[in-house]
Amino acid sequence: MFKHTKDLIKNKKSDEAIFLGCGPSILDLTSSDWDRIKEMDIWTSNNWYIHDVVPDFYHLEVKLHRNFEFSQKMVQKRKDAYKNVNWILDHTRKYLFDIVKPSDFDNIFLYKKTHRGDDGKYTPEPSQVAVSCYASITIILDLMQQMNYKKIYFCGVDLFSSEYFWSNNED
C-alpha cells in the first residue's frame, strides 16, 4: 500500500525538475514558460491544489489546526486529476491519510525525518529525509537530490513576499 520515498526514483520522468511554490510570481509565467515546465518533473507543496497545473510529486504539508478541512475538501475535489500524483507524506502525521486516502490514491510515499546538525555537514541518507530549520523546502530539496536530477529549478518561491498566487483573487 505505502511506499518508501527511496522508491520515488522509479517514477522520475525527466533529468530536470522544478519546484513550484505558491508565491505570486507564479502568475508571471507565460504559456511558453508553462510548456517548458511541463517537460520537467514538477514538484509542489502546501496548497498547490488550488492551481490548475497538476504536479508529478506533491509533498503535502498541512497544519491540522489551520488548513486540514480545506485540504481535505480540495484533494477530494481534484481526486481524478490527481490520481497519478506521487504523494509524499511524513509518516508521523497520520491525519494526512484522511486527506490523501489510500483508498483513492496508489502512489503514496512515506518518509522518516531526521534533523540536520548546525555544523554545516550533510551526508544524504536514502532511508530517511533530512530537514533543516523545520522547513519543508529542505525536505523536498533532499528528496530531489536523492533523485539525481541534473538540473533543479524554482519558481514561485518569493522570499520577498508573504502573499500567495491566490491572494486577492476572489475566485
pLDDT in tens, 34-82: 999 999 999 999 999 999 999 999 999 998 888 999 999 999 999 999 9
Q: Which amino acid is at 110?
A: L
Is the model's pLDDT at 93 over the cut of 80?
yes
In this predicted structure, what is the pLDDT of residue 152?
97
How many Cα atoms are found within 13 Å in the side-chain-facing hemisphere of 59?
23
- In 34-165, DSSP assigns E strands to 41-45, 57-59, 86-90, 108-111, 113-115, 129-131, 151-155
C-alpha cell recorded at residue 8: 520515488
pTM listed for this prediction: 0.93
In this predicted structure, what is the pLDDT of residue 1?
66
Q: CA–CA separation, 4 vs 11, rounded Å?
A: 12
Is the model's pLDDT at 122 over the cut of 80?
no
Mean pLDDT across the chain, nearest whole number? 91
C-alpha cell recorded at residue 145: 537530490
Is the model's pLDDT at 134 over the cut of 80?
no
Report percent pLDDT > 70 for the chain.
98
